[in-house]
Amino acid sequence: MNYQETVQYLYNQLPVYQHVGGSAYKEGLDNSLALDKYFGHPHRKYKTVHIAGTNGKGSTSHLLAAILQQSGYKVGLYTSPHLVDFRERIRVNGEKISEQYVIDFVARHKDHYESIHPSFFELTMMMAFCYFADEEVDIAMIEVGLGGRLDSTNIITPIVSVITNISLDHTQFLGDTLPKIAAEKAGIIKPYIPVIIGEAEGEVRRVFEEKAASVDAPIIFAEDQNRILAADKLDSGAWLFQTDTFPNLKGELGGLPQIKNAATVLCAIDVLRKQGIHTTIQSVYSGFGLVTEITGLMGRWQIIKQFDPKIICDTGHNVGGIKYVAEQLQSEPCDNLRIVIGMVNDKDINHVLELLPKSAVYYFTKANIARALDEEELAKLGENHGLSGSRHHTVQDAVNTAIADSDKQDVVFIGGSNFVVAEALELLL
């Protein structure tokens, strides 16, 4: 099989949560442990940082990878989902895994792992672990896929754990309250391993405190550290942070959530230093300022075009993420705000829609996956929340129409789903 055939095999033969939803979700670690034994426990050959949370874990993973890479470490980065190319999930020093490695991994081990019946996520995670070992990385950022306690990645023993925040998402698997979801995310907290919590209050905070205390894990709440003293938005969409140790720290990633992500990352750097992972002052400035160039991150308040019209995309897709997206859109100066939106059918769609600005012009659409909510149904739900606009059967048609309708001072925002953003990026980039 060539590369495209190999990737299609992975999609077609293994259950893919991103495409089909709950039917692909495999609760428990049995498959991961079986794969891990067969491959010789590759993740034990390098240090790891484990990163969970409802939102922000991708940005946090990429920022930490960029900073450590700039400090001279060879850094693995495992994230999900990808936007354009499967290989975005697995990187070493910002470079995607080679097509040939993907081909050879599947061909060499197919006969064995097929008897285990892994999910797509379980197998690609193990591919990443093996690739990092073969590449002899010093340290790898491992992003949790879903939840924490029963997520496939929870077979690792990291040197630091990070939980960014808790919001309602994947409630059919993780629970229908914030404390229940927090308990699942807290499952990555390991005995004696320090854990950083980006954002938590009330009962959610108590869940983390009790879990950490039960396993003697040092716990640090980033919000208590007051690392970000001020944050000013630059014309480019980036942030200029004033911190307790890094004055005039430019954060390339736009969007309101990046303020809290930055505080979490700065705390993580301090804890990693105590674990023997040292960073330089310049590496922090370079990592924050050049993260997309260093790691290839896309889709986080990404400005595709600055003018005529301004085009922005963001992968925020649940209530926690959309809350910040909506707040930032309200402050975006423009003559007309045009929103291209599509969603998958297992999200809290009504609560997301009620957060969106009613004054915008909407282009309701659907991504080309089985989980996508039909654009007609999405439009009807939108109308119930005072959102009006047109219906488009493809993302391409929605994006092209929104741009064609725009004047020079308009803003076109594209979001609601990773898959809508992915298709838009393929079209626009």
Residue 25 shares a structural domain with residue 102: yes
Distance in angstroms (rounded) separating the CA atoms of residues 148 and 207: 14
Residue 200 shares a structural domain with residue 237: yes
Does the pLDDT at position 28 exceed 80? no
Burial class of residue 61 in the structure, from the number of CB atoms within 10 Å of its CB (0-12 exposed, 13-18 middle, 19+ buried): buried
Residue 61 shares a structural domain with residue 107: yes
Residue 290 shares a structural domain with residue 375: no
- What's the pLDDT tens digit per position in 346-384? 778 999 999 999 999 999 999 998 889 999 999 999 999
Residue 233 shares a structural domain with residue 95: yes
Mean pLDDT within 306-326: 93
Residue 275 shares a structural domain with residue 368: no
* CATH of residue 420: 3.90.190.20
- What's the pLDDT tens digit per position in 259-288? 999 999 999 999 999 999 999 999 999 999
Residue 125 identity (one-letter amino acid): M
Give the domain-ending residue among 267, 295, 323. 295
Which range (71-80, 92-101, 248-257, 343-352) has the least confidence? 343-352
Task: Name the residue among 157, 131, 136, 162 with its Cα closest to residue 57.
Answer: 162
- What's the pLDDT tens digit per position in 229-264? 999 999 888 999 999 999 999 999 999 999 999 999
> What pLDDT is recorded for position 249?
98
Residue 374 shares a structural domain with residue 266: no
Give the domain-ending residue among 262, 295, 328. 295
Residue 133 shares a structural domain with residue 10: yes
> What pLDDT is recorded for position 273?
97
Q: Which residue has the higher pLDDT, 369 or 400?
A: 400
Confidence of residue 23 (pLDDT cuts 50, 70, 90): very low
Does the pLDDT at position 16 exceed 80? no
- What's the pLDDT tens digit per position in 169-201? 655 667 779 999 999 999 999 999 999 999 999
Residue 366 shares a structural domain with residue 413: yes
Does the pLDDT at position 30 exceed 70? yes
Sign of the torsion formed by the C-alpha atoms of 129, 156, 315 and 312:
negative
Predicted TM-score (pTM) of the model is 0.94
Residue 77 shares a structural domain with residue 192: yes
Burial class of residue 93 in the structure, from the number of CB atoms within 10 Å of its CB (0-12 exposed, 13-18 middle, 19+ buried): middle
Does the pLDDT at position 388 exceed 60? yes
Give the domain-ending residue among 260, 295, 330. 295
Residue 69 shares a structural domain with residue 100: yes
Residue 285 shares a structural domain with residue 312: no
* CATH of residue 284: 3.40.1190.10
104-136 burial, b for 16+ CB within 10 Å, e for fewer?
ebbeebeeebeeeebbbbbbbbbbbbbbbbebe
What is the tally of structural domains in the chain?
A: 2
- What's the pLDDT tens digit per position in 111-170? 999 899 898 999 999 999 999 999 999 999 999 998 899 999 999 999 999 999 998 665
State the residue range of the domain holding 86: 3-295
